[in-house]
Amino acid sequence: MSSNDVLGRKLPFSLEAEQSVIGSVLINPECFDDIAQLISSEDFYLPEHEQIFYAIKGMYASSKTVDVVTLANELVKEGVYSDTDTLNNYIKTIIQTVPSAANVVDYAKIVKDKSILRMLIDACSQITDNAYSEQHEVNRILDSAEQKIFDIAQGNETKGFAHIRDVLKLTLDNLNLLATNPDAAHGTQTGFSDLDDTLVGMGPGELILVGARPGMGKTSFVLNIASNVAKRTKKAVCIFSLEMSNQELVSRMLSGEGMVDSYNIRSGKLTPEDWQNLAQASASLAECDILIDDTTGITVTGMKAKLRRVKNLGLVVIDYLQLMQGEHHNDNRVQEVGEISRNMKILAKELRVPVVCCAQLSRGPESRTDKKPMLSDLRDSGAIEQDADVVLFLYRDEYYDKSKAEQSSAKVIVAKNRHGAVRDVEMGWLPQFTKFITLNKELEPPT
């Protein structure tokens, strides 16, 4: 980055603060511990200061003694400087400008703040260049711009050690809460009691993968979860539909909510009772804070940009993984899907909400005698299995055995559960309403 921007203004930096940080460490090397997580060598504006601090950090990591002589020797040995006398004089000058190392943290914060301002200026310059070039779609440029600013903000967050005393207090307080209120043990509940008993709900920051062959009901399943969560928690539920339009999605939700045959909705052959049920279902769903985005081929960055604007977010649903695009074009689809799944896990962690994502399975089950899906059937990437906290598979016998009449039961196979047991959960399946229910009983009304 040049020392001046396009308008001839000097980039922000503080010579005194940079010198004071280096001088403080040389006066009292132990104070390096206080600033190690606050700044890096890249935060220094002047190249010589960046090189000096980089050398100090390397010596510290190697448990070498840091003083004027050893530092100068290290810089000469690494080929950064050749004139030892000039270097020694400059280092001594720096030390003389700092009366005490007591305020080293304050000096470091000034250096960091100036560095962030320069990064913002640089990001804005890149955003301006992208806008002038007109080489990409406007939405992609906007997403990129927001991501650049967000990355700077995220990079400014630091998290140090937590002493076990503090963590113990939080843990015991939480255990006390669970003892007095068992419902608090559950994360976000799916609304299916048998499944929730196995998962103990969906935890904040968890990536839950729902895999199935086409036509098995994965979209209906995640929509059922979405409406259950929206009604029970009164929080916002965001649905990204990459395959179906928002109207198709809502039609399915109306069918399940109003118990109206989905064929009648698609064909328009509705009875007076159907209309009445649809009106009631519509009124119920309208009270839910459900947001639907049907952008085709959206990226995780695009999702993140939209989700950051949502207040009181409780759940994210994505349908489905293999229709998403990576941040960069990759001829290797397996690697691209792997990148997408990793970014989705990061997304869940950053937003601190569960992310439920559908995934298409390969044709593996069709070539086996036992048609039940396995983790190896996840299409395009084994990384999906690694990134997900929970993997659920949907299975129905009649899907493969066409001689059997369509049944009113299905299995949700908990194939991976990072925090609990794996098992098969029997579910009720109402195909005409595209609705899953807890077996042998309807869902309890939301409390």
Element (H, E) at 411: strand 409-417
Contacts of 428 (CB under 8 A, 6+ apart): 408, 409, 410, 436, 437, 438, 439, 440
Is 407 within 8 Å of 396 (Cβ atoms)?
yes
**Strand locations in 214-365, DSSP E?**
236-241, 290-293, 313-319, 355-360
Helix, coil or strand: residue 176: helix
Q: Is 385 a catalytic residue?
A: no
The CA distance from 206 to 227, in Å, is 19
Q: CB within 8 A of 313, min separation 6: which ones? A: 235, 236, 238, 307, 351, 353
> Would strands 355-360 and 390-395 be described as parallel, antiparallel, or unpaired?
unpaired
Indicate the burial class of 318 (C-beta count within 10 angstroms; 0-12, 13-18, 19 or more). buried
What is the Cα 229 distance to its own chain's centre?
Answer: 19
The active-site residue out of 48, 50, 243, 327 is 243
Containing 208, the helix (H) or strand (E) segment is strand 207-212
Nearest residue to 406 (alpha-carbon basis) of 385, 427, 381, 431: 431
Measured CA distances, 230 to 285, 325, 351 (Å): 9, 27, 17
74 with 55: CB under 8 angstroms? yes
Q: What distances in angstroms separate CA 27 from CA 32, 100, 107, 166, 411, one per listed residue?
A: 10, 8, 14, 33, 68
Per the CB < 8 A criterion, the answer to whether 111 and 43 are in contact is yes
The alpha carbon of 420 is separated from its chain's Cα centroid by a whole number of angstroms, namely 22
Euclidean distance between CA atoms 316 and 239, whole angstroms: 6
* Gap between the Cα atoms of 288 and 6, Å rounded: 49
CA distance 365 to 16: 67
Residue 60 buriedness (CB in 10 A; 0-12 / 13-18 / 19+): middle
> What 3-state DSSP class applies to 106?
helix
Residues taking part in catalysis: 243
